[in-house]
A and B are shown apart, each in its own frame.
Chain A
Amino acid sequence: MTRCLAIRATIATLALGLLACAPAQAADTVDPAADKAAFQKFFTGKFPKLKLEDFVNGPYSMNEDLHRQWEEKEQFPPYEFSLEAGKEMFATPFKNGKTYADCFPNKGIGIRQNYPFFDEKEGKVVTLELALNRCREANGEAPFSYVKDDMAALTAYMAFTSRGKPMDIKIPNDPRALEAYQKGKEYFYTRRGQLNFSCATCHIQSPGERIRAEVLAPALGILNAMPIYRSEWSGMGTTSRRFTTCNSQIRGVPLNPQDDEYRNLEYYLSYVSNGLPISGPGARP
């Protein structure tokens, strides 16, 4: 009898142990499709009145007054000059006679929604900003700063040609791609800087809330509007500028633009916004 009880106890303990292990394993499994579903469900549940495609309008989708301001602003959008400059730059040949169109599929038109992508040859994530500078260098031109106006103008034009197209980031069946995605996710949720904030602190936990005078944007669709004209910056900003500024605002030393961490972060954030339309270039308060 005692022996029988002992066996039962052992079996029960083993079963409990297995049960306890199961969620831990699930948490460590990389499943981008499940992540995306949970991510989008979280936001649509938090803001049930908002249509999925409206999340790309950032703080303007969170606040009625701001939304009205934005509608008025869009009649004479502040990014218009940058867009025009980008269009001209895009069409202007390099010294060797080639253009940006020669570096991209479909001559660079309507392809924004496919960036960043995982380059299986290189084994790394390639963002649109990086691809543009690689195109310049391959054609004997000096690369642009990742955080300044020229890069913003070029990406503004390319985003404009993709407006309305759903974000369509692919994760190939390659363990390196999954690792890049997972590292991007880890970066997004990791607290850093003296203020001990992660990206998620503002853009998951507090979208729609104010941080000083600003209304925080939801993480869902946050990159679909890039690049953006920010009134606070009195100018255009690229994705690289957004990431590095976020880091310094929380008193963390920013990494170099297009370091692997930022490329992976862009990969993760873009993937979980798959299906939402490209709305860039955008304008923000």
Chain B
Amino acid sequence: MSAAIKAVLAASALLIATATCALAASEADYKAAYAAAEAANKEAGSLRNQWTTTASTLSAAKKAAEAGDFDAAVAKAKEAEALAKASIFQATSEKERWKDMEVR
């Protein structure tokens, strides 16, 4: 086997190994994603503007993690974080925007 072929094979093996690592989420990944989502939702709570969908997505993440499906758990936790951040954005932008709707 030529050195070039050996190098290609080695690189391919390395690529597959890293790709596999990137796909399979660990419990630690889930915990980090969940904590970030929870923190964002807590901030939304301090603005009195939590969404029901954030709460249900957070519990879906927890359920997936309990079943050992950390890929799904991380995906759900990230979705919950995005929802919580959207609710924070809404609460912040509405501080002034509500006036546009007022009957005068």
Contacts and interface: CB of A to CB of B under 8 A. Distances in A.
A and B associate: yes
Interface of A: 27, 35, 38-39, 42, 185-186, 189-194, 196, 198, 200-201, 204-205, 248, 251-253, 255, 261
A186 B102 CA distance: 9
A194 B52 CA distance: 8
23 contacts: A27-B99, A27-B102, A27-B104, A39-B103, A42-B103, A185-B102, A189-B101, A189-B102, A190-B94, A191-B90, A191-B94, A192-B49, A192-B91, A200-B101, A200-B102, A200-B103, A204-B101, A205-B101, A252-B49, A252-B52, A253-B45, A253-B51, A255-B48
Interface size class of B (residues with CB under 8 A): 20 to 34
A253 B52 contact: yes
Contacts of B98: 186, 189-191, 198
Nearest to A191: B94
A249 to B, nearest CB: 10
Given A191-B90, A252-B49, A252-B50, 4 more contacts: A38-B103, A186-B98, A189-B102, A192-B94
B83 interface: yes
A204 B101 CA distance: 9
Given A190-B94, A191-B97, A261 B102 contact: no
Contacts of B97: 191
* A-B pairs with lowest CB-CB distance, top 9: A253-B50, A189-B98, A190-B98, A42-B103, A189-B101, A194-B51, A190-B94, A251-B52, A194-B53
A196 B103 contact: no
B55 interface: yes
A200 to B, nearest CB: 5
A204 B51 contact: no
Contacts of A42: 103
B102 A194 contact: no
Interface in B60-104: 83, 86-87, 90-91, 94, 97-99, 101-104
Contacts of B55: 253
B94 to A, nearest CB: 5
Interface string B12-35: 000000000000000000000000
A226 to B, nearest CB: 21
A274 to B, nearest CB: 15
